[in-house]
Structure 1
Amino acid sequence: MSAYPELLHTALDARDPRALAEFYRELLALRYRPGDEPPAAPAADEADWLVLLDQSGLRVLAVQAKPDLRPSTWPSEEVPMQLHMDFRVPDVDALETHRARAEQLGARVLMDRSDDPGEPLYVIGDPEGHPFCLLVG
């Protein structure tokens, strides 16, 4: 077990996840995770979670649907920036260890999906309230 969680990818909210994924795919020379590629008929695209990989196959970015997203007005704080990070750990024991450690450092659990057999995870709020996911992956 690693002593610390490792960053899996950064996840961005988007009103149009495919369009945002395409932007970053082109900008950063990324590629889709197998199964996340655009469908042959664009009208059939109902993707709500897309993962982009670097050239070596490592996850870099994920884009998730958030239809009611209000775009950031940064540098004004009227609507702050929106993003969260996902951190992976190797197994459920490490998930619990790092959840407890995050809480000891001042975070709080916002959602507990640790009993999900497909993808155990916690959504945790950092001390400022920014959410991030700690998951087995």
Structure 2
Amino acid sequence: MPLQMKLRAITLDCPDPPALAAFYQQATGYQPHPESDADFAGLTCEDGLFLGFQRVADHRAPSWPDQTVPQQFHLDFAVDDLDEAEARLLELGAGKPDHQPNESRWRVLTDPAGHPFCVIRG
């Protein structure tokens, strides 16, 4: 039986979060998140999906389609029970990095290809 996970947020690394947020706001009509700042900006869709942009030092733009510099992002999924979701995802082949910045509120995991994603308390 699959977990009941709902995609809540997509966060992209970038050199200038406010500029990238402005571009996507114009492209999508999503509303600016009131707590956006120079290091992290966000947009909210009317269905609740959050699109975030985080400043990364020495960011290198992805090269496409050759993947010399891979595309970088992470996904956040809301779950009812962090421990249950983590256990099930590990069973499915996810990894769990040692560094967990706030394990009581969210868990950082990696998919089988190594891409990080988070499960957050719903």
Q: Could you tell me the TM-score, scaled by structure 2's length?
A: 0.87
Residue aligned with 2:96, SS? strand
Taking the aligned partners of 1:33 and 1:47, their CA distance within structure 2 comes to 13
Indicate the residue corresponding to 1:125 in structure 2.
Answer: 110
Indicate the residue corresponding to 1:40 in structure 2.
Answer: none
Deviations 1:46-104 (A, max 9, x none): 522222112x26133111111211111111121111111111124xxx11111111100
Q: Matched residue pairs, number?
A: 118
Choose from 84, 90, 94 the match for 1:103. Answer: 90
Indicate the residue corresponding to 2:43 in structure 1.
Answer: 52
Indicate the residue corresponding to 1:42 in structure 2.
Answer: none
Point out where structure 2 has 5 or more consecutive residues left out of the alignment.
Answer: none
Correspondence list, 1:34-45, <5 A: 34-36=34-36
Q: Is the 8 A contact 2:16 2:38 kept in 1?
A: no
Taking the aligned partners of 1:85 and 1:23, their CA distance within structure 2 comes to 20
Instruction: Show structure 1 runs of 4+ deviating over 3 A.
Output: none
* Residue 77 of structure 1 pairs with residue 62 of structure 2: no
Larger Rg computed on CA atoms: 1
* Residue 12 of structure 1 pairs with residue 1 of structure 2: no
CA RMSD of aligned residues (A): 1.6
Point out where structure 1 has 5 or more consecutive residues left out of the alignment.
Answer: 37-45
> What letter matches 1:69 in structure 2?
H
User: Post-superposition shift, 1:10?
Assistant: 0.8
Taking the aligned partners of 1:126 and 1:69, their CA distance within structure 2 comes to 22
